[in-house]
Amino acid sequence: MMSLIWVIQRDEPSNVVDYEKIDNDARALYEAGVKRKGTDVSTWISIMSERSVPHLQKVFERYKSYSPYDMKESIRKEVKGDLEKSFLTLVECFENKQLYFANRLSEAMKSKGAKEKVVTRIVVSRCEVDLMKIRREFKKQHKRSLYQTIAEHTKGDYQKALLSLCGGDD
């Protein structure tokens, strides 16, 4: 017996900007959500999962010309539960990935006994990618350095490892 697996692939980023497709997607999101009673979730999922990040960033900007709400407000009005959380996370990452990670680090460290898995996952996975940018966003948004926050909310060898990966105080 053969099984068929269909994998949705996101469009590859391109140097060619297709303004017609951007406009069509923005209008489709509006018409599938805010404009109608009920939400055509399949249209939202299709566009949000198949388009490239640069394309979606432009779609979110164009969406404002159709809807009285920005994309995040529309998501909050149109979908609930895990799908709402997923869409909001996508939009936040597409708008400013480093700010998204800075905010996740802040939230994780505010909880009693820092959520070590979240902090570890972000610091380790981003340390050689864009942790410097995350540190800048963290300081800009939270008025203190990521280094100071890690030092305050962790201890022992775990603290030493995170501070070493963090790379210094800003």
Query: Do 104 and 164 have their domain in common?
Result: yes
DSSP 18: -
Task: Report the pLDDT value the prediction gives residue 110, as an integer from 0 to 100.
Answer: 87
Residue keyed to tokens 């939202």: 44
Residue 89 has pLDDT above 50, yes or no: yes
- Collapsing DSSP states into helix, strand and coil, what is residue 107? helix
CATH number (domain holding residue 40): 1.10.220.10
Residue 5 has pLDDT above 50, yes or no: no
Residue 111 has pLDDT above 90, yes or no: no
Round the average pLDDT of the chain to a whole number and report it. Answer: 89
Q: The whole model's pTM is what?
A: 0.80
Residue 1 has pLDDT above 70, yes or no: no
Q: Can you tell me the distance from the alpha carbon of 105 to that of 108, in angstroms, rounded to the nearest whole number? A: 5
- Domain end position, chosen among 54, 79, 104: 79
**Domain interval for residue 29:** 17-79
Average pLDDT (64-72) is 95
Asked if residue 49 belongs to a domain, the reply is yes
Query: Do 153 and 101 have their domain in common?
Result: yes
Residue 4 has pLDDT above 60, yes or no: no
Task: Report the pLDDT value the prediction gives residue 92, as an integer from 0 to 100.
Answer: 95
Higher pLDDT, 114 or 167: 167
Integer Rg of the chain from CA: 19
Residue 6 has pLDDT above 80, yes or no: no
- Domain end position, chosen among 50, 79, 108: 79
pLDDT in tens, 113-154: 668 899 999 999 999 999 999 999 999 999 999 999 999 999
The type of residue at 126 is R
Q: Can you tell me the distance from the alpha carbon of 93 to that of 114, in angstroms, rounded to the nearest whole number? A: 22
